[in-house]
Structure 1
Amino acid sequence: MQAFLQAVFNGQHINEKNFFLMAGPCVVEGEEVVMKTAEQVVKICEKLKIPYIFKSSYRKANRTRLDSFTGIGDENALKLLAKVKATFNVPVVTDIHAANEAAMAAEYVDVLQIPAFLCRQTDILIAAAETGKIVNVKKGQFLSPEAMQFAVDKLRQSGNEQIILTDRGATFGYHDLIVDYRAIPTMQQMDVPVVLDCTHSLQQPNQTSGVTGGNPAMIETIARAGIAVGADGLFIETHPNPAQAKSDGANMLRLDLLEGLLDKLVRLKEVVNTL
């Protein structure tokens, strides 16, 4: 595990040979969901000694329909993320959507995430890098893994070496994504930790209803394969009741299923480490 990740997990009782986890509800939709999810995932990760970063978007900017839920207000949401950090002593990651959001979000969180559709936006990458925070860049569904070298270069040339890359599938036709597991070792050659997003990889976008679909029954399959090929971390969106979630409910993992899944993945990682 790279030094900057070891530093951000300082204070957690972890196994440094384990994968790390980014997990939480898709968007900050209220205090009850955020705090309940964080509390439960923290307990699971402490039990399994998984390094943990709480994830939730303070606002959703990429919505198909104008009437889709986008958030509870930037300041309110960011303050809730800061409350998670203070209450549970875990780092927090959230998305930014424009260059002028970087400094604002950096006041509250430890990791700034660049959404996949924005991974080539130079001004956003520079602004995120200049905050000095860890920057997690999601690989665009439209890019080869090799092309992510340019995003890495932009961050490094802007003075930031604290970089994570996350794969979330590649466009396959109009309504589906596929995961090319070659992307994980390919991007690891850029000397960055690589995460596999096990939930967004199963999205089914561009539905005629204007609401993105998903296939959460395949989350375990995606996650197992990611660990088998050596992913450094996993990204899993989870919610106490995905059917009532205000964003991406169709592909989130139900919170009460998370521990069983992670227990299997930890045991699989132990086997992978012996090979």
Structure 2
Amino acid sequence: MTREIAINDVKIGGDRPLVLVAGPCVIESEAATLRHAERLLTICNGLSIPLIFKASYDKANRTSIGGFRGPGIKDGLKILAKVKDSLGLSVLSDIHSIEQVAPAAEVLDVLQIPAFLCRQTDLIIAAAQSGRVINIKKGQFLAPWDMKNVAAKAVASGNENIILTERGASFGYNNLVVDMRTFPIMRATGFPVIFDATHSVQLPGGQGECSGGQREYVEYLSRAAVAAGIDGIFMEVHEDPDKALCDGPNSIPLDDLPTLLKLLKSIDALVK
């Protein structure tokens, strides 16, 4: 059993029910972000599923120079602060440099270390020393047992409020696979584990100047991961994925989310 971590009124880990981390890939506008957050809150309240809202103020890891990155840290954090203040939701977003830690920690409840940065020791130390909960995504290039060393960096910096996230491993060109053994291996560290269901069906760089995705497989991987005993599930959602400014091909339509969450909740209850 993993330790239990409190993120305001959301508790993840231990024998707690499944937690959802969800939102659009990137902040497209203030109105769109609040609209998505309100819709997610309504869905999750109806199903009694704890929610942490996720949206990136800057998508620094883009396939091409022209890829949409978001409003930037200053304006993005203002929008996420409005989500917190108006809806009472805990919020999560990515940090990419040590300089971003302090301002991000003033707003965010969870600082997320992107997969490609999970071995950046100074970034992990700075995030850990902020005192916020940190969610560290496993790099596509790492084995699951390597994450114990990543988590140890945060622990050595005085922070044990750590969540680990699986988002698939590189398998050939423009493809990711998820090894279900990852979940018990990573949970053996004692920290809660989240499955990033939508990034795991991403095809990095698969459309030439942007990434592709196979959202039709999200349900199947999610069902398997929840059955394996994960603590939370991460999904990028959008009201109209085909018009999303980032990661549309692997995002779940908001209209499809309630049915999927109901199924995952039932599997989680059976397993736990």
2:168 partner letter: G
CA-to-aligned-CA distance 1:24-55 (integer Å, 9 cap, x gap): 00011101221111111111111111111000
CA-to-aligned-CA distance 1:134-172 (integer Å, 9 cap, x gap): 000000000000001111000000000100000000000
CA contact under 8 A between 1:33 and 1:240: conserved in structure 2? no
Q: How is 1:199-238 mapped onto 2 (pairs within 5 angstroms)? A: 199-207=198-206, 209-238=208-237
Q: How is 1:90-101 mapped onto 2 (pairs within 5 angstroms)? A: 90-101=89-100
Which residue does the alignment assign to 1:8? Answer: 8
Give the TM-score taking structure 1 as reference length.
0.94
Give the TM-score taking structure 2 as reference length.
0.95
1:4 partner letter: I
Q: How is 1:174-193 mapped onto 2 (pairs within 5 angstroms)? A: 174-193=173-192
In 2, Cα distance between equivalents of 1:209 and 1:183: 30
CA contact under 8 A between 2:105 and 2:130: conserved in structure 1? yes
3-state DSSP of counterpart to 1:166 = strand
Which residue does the alignment assign to 1:147? Answer: 146
Summarize the Cα distance change of 1:210–1:53 in structure 2 as closer, same or farther, 3 Å threshold: same
Residue 17 of structure 1 deviates from its aligned partner by: 3.5
CA contact under 8 A between 1:100 and 1:127: conserved in structure 2? no
Point out where structure 2 has 5 or more consecutive residues left out of the alignment: none
CA-to-aligned-CA distance 1:76-126 (integer Å, 9 cap, x gap): 111111111111111100000111111111111100000000000001101
Point out where structure 1 has 5 or more consecutive residues left out of the alignment: none
Which residue does the alignment assign to 2:252? Answer: 253
In 2, Cα distance between equivalents of 1:29 and 1:47: 26
Residue 272 of structure 1 deviates from its aligned partner by: 1.5
Q: How is 1:1-275 mapped onto 2 (pairs within 5 angstroms)? A: 2-5=3-6, 7-9=7-9, 17-207=16-206, 209-273=208-272
In 2, Cα distance between equivalents of 1:17 and 1:120: 29
3-state DSSP of counterpart to 1:165 = strand
In 1, Cα distance between equivalents of 2:173 and 2:130: 36
3-state DSSP of counterpart to 1:28 = coil
In 2, Cα distance between equivalents of 1:144 and 1:3: 24
Please provide the CA RMSD for this pair: 1.4
3-state DSSP of counterpart to 1:23 = strand
Percentage identity across paired residues of the two chains: 46
CA-to-aligned-CA distance 1:208-239 (integer Å, 9 cap, x gap): 52110000001110110011000100000001
| Equivalent residue pairs, number | 268
